[in-house]
A and B are shown apart, each in its own frame.
Chain A
Amino acid sequence: DIQMTQSPSSLSASVGDRVTITCRASQTIVSYLNWYQQKPGKAPKLLIYAASNLQRGVPSRFSGSGSGTDFTLTISSLQPEDFATYYCQQTYSSLTFGGGTKVQIK
């Protein structure tokens, strides 16, 4: 099974900060990597699919990059509504989520 490791598991940041979250796969997943945002008590929301494609309606401050085993989600200027938990997901072989990264207010 492919394991997905996210880092950090949590971070504290301020509004306006640039935030980068990393996701590493235990083997190559090409570009079969998606990113989701989840707020407490709510369903996850798709942000990025196929590593770097912005889902319709998602603000352009979110971006994704990477291929093979190493991927990043970047928020260029953190907004108050971005405080949430972020998950990566691989769909190359079966499906696996990363453990999540909680973005908190500094």
Chain B
Amino acid sequence: QVQLVESGGGVVQPGRSLRLSCAASGFTFDNYAMHWVRQAPGKGLEWVAGISNDGSKKYYADSVKGRLTISRDNSKNTVYLQMSSLGAEDTAVYFCAKDARTVADYFDYWGQGTLVTVSS
């Protein structure tokens, strides 16, 4: 069955960088777009980035443009989120989600999330 397993979260100091990974299995990875969605403590969902199935198209929320970079390695069935210049506003659980199509549509599977805490 479809599995998405995020890793790479933890406590990081303000201004530092962090890379999240999401390992996928149970489906043909290079047929589908992938996304990252975050949720600050006690808050709602915020889509932050998406990438098309072949990696040629990348999409970002305005709130993270220039600081977060999404990428994928189809040979490793893994999608990444490189985060830089982190601030307190980036503290959240970060979910990886599989799209139902090759580009942005709807998210039919989600990982369990990885917590990023930005604190000195």
Q: Tell whether A pairs with B.
A: yes
- B54 / chain A contacts, CB cutoff of 8 Å: none
Please tell me if the beta carbons of B46 and A34 are within 8 angstroms of each other in the complex.
no
Binds B, one of A22-30, A38-46, A72-80: A38-46
Please tell me if the beta carbons of A43 and B110 are within 8 angstroms of each other in the complex.
yes
- A44 / chain B contacts, CB cutoff of 8 Å: 37, 45, 95, 107, 110
- B110 / chain A contacts, CB cutoff of 8 Å: 43-45
Contact of A89 among B62, B95, B106, B113 (CB under 8 A): B106
* Size of A's binding interface in residues, CB under 8 A: 22
78-120 of chain B: CB within 8 A of chain A: 95, 100, 104-108, 110-113
Which chain A residue lies CB-closest to B47? A95
B83 vs chain A, min Cβ distance (A): 18
A4 vs chain B, min Cβ distance (A): 10
B1 vs chain A, min Cβ distance (A): 12
**CA of A34 to CA of B59 in the docked complex: distance in angstroms?**
18
Is residue A96 contacting chain B, with contact meaning CB distance below 8 A? yes
**CA of A35 to CA of B34 in the docked complex: distance in angstroms?**
18
Is residue A94 contacting chain B, with contact meaning CB distance below 8 A? yes
- A1-B62, A43-B113 given; A49·B100 CB < 8 A: yes
Pick from B37, B46, B50, B107 the residue with the most CB of A within 10 Å.
Answer: B107
**CA of A49 to CA of B44 in the docked complex: distance in angstroms?**
19
- A43 / chain B contacts, CB cutoff of 8 Å: 95, 110-113
Contact of B45 among A49, A50, A91, A97 (CB under 8 A): A97
- B47 / chain A contacts, CB cutoff of 8 Å: 89, 94-97
Contact of B106 among A42, A46, A96, A98 (CB under 8 A): A46
Please tell me if the beta carbons of A97 and B46 are within 8 angstroms of each other in the complex.
yes
Beyond the given pairs A38-B45, A50-B106, A95-B61, 5 more chain A to chain B contacts, judged by CB atoms under 8 angstroms and listed by A's residue number, are: A89-B47, A94-B59, A95-B35, A96-B47, A100-B44
Q: Measuring CB to CB, which residues of chain B are less than 8 angstroms from any residue of chain A?
A: 35, 37, 44-47, 50, 59, 61-62, 95, 100, 104-108, 110-113
